[in-house]
């Protein structure tokens, strides 16, 4: 298996509400004619939104359960100021700010928001990582 991730699919409770939330963040839908699923190109990978019950059914698992989902999504910013700007955009789009931006113990600057289904997004500036021209993250060896 190659060391990469192609698509992250979020099981959402209301597909229209979630699509509209990400569009308010400025994300542009890909494959706009697809029905029952929403795709957003995210650099060299994609974020997909799919009804939670259908995703659980497809994976042959129960759809019940709430609370911390044991993972976060991350948006790495190019600066501290961008962290604050992205968190403000998210709040305007309807996100809940769960941790305002602040200096991080690891030497960077970060905060968190949750989307309409409670998926956590970390927005972080990490002085040890670089962000390429088109948004690709580069982690040093």
Domain boundaries, the chain: 1-60, 71-135
| Structure-token pair, residue 78 | 């190019």
Phi-psi region of 86 (alpha: psi -120 to 50; beta: other; left: phi over 0): alpha
Pinpoint the alpha helices (H) of the chain: 15-24, 52-59, 80-93
| Structure-token pair, residue 114 | 């949750």
Tell me the pLDDT tens digit for each residue of 107-138.
999 999 999 998 999 999 999 998 888 888 88
pTM equals 0.85
CATH architecture of 1-60: Roll (3.10)
For residue 54, give the 3-state DSSP assignment. helix
Answer yes or no: same fold for 1-60 and 71-135: yes
Tell me the pLDDT tens digit for each residue of 79-109.
999 999 999 999 999 999 999 999 999 999 9
**In CATH terms, is domain 71-135 a member of 3.10.180.10?**
yes
Return the closest-CA partner of residue 93 out of 125, 124, 121, 131: 121
| Structure-token pair, residue 82 | 């961008």
């Amino acid at each position: 298996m190659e060391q990469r991730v192609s698509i992250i699919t979020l099981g959402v409770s209301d597909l229209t509400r979630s699509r509209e939330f990400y569009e308010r963040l400025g994300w542009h839908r890909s494959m706009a004619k697809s029905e029952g699923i929403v795709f957003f190109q995210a650099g060299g990978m994609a974020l997909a939104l799919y009804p939670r019950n259908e995703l659980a059914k497809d994976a042959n698992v129960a759809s019940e359960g709430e609370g911390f989902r044991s993972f976060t999504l991350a948006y790495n910013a190019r600066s501290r100021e961008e962290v604050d700007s992205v968190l403000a955009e998210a709040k305007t789009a309807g996100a809940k700010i769960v941790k305002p931006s602040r200096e991080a113990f690891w030497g960077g600057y970060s905060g968190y928001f949750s989307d309409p289904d409670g998926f956590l997004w970390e927005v972080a500036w990490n002085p040890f990582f670089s962000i390429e021209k088109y948004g690709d993250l580069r982690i040093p060896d």
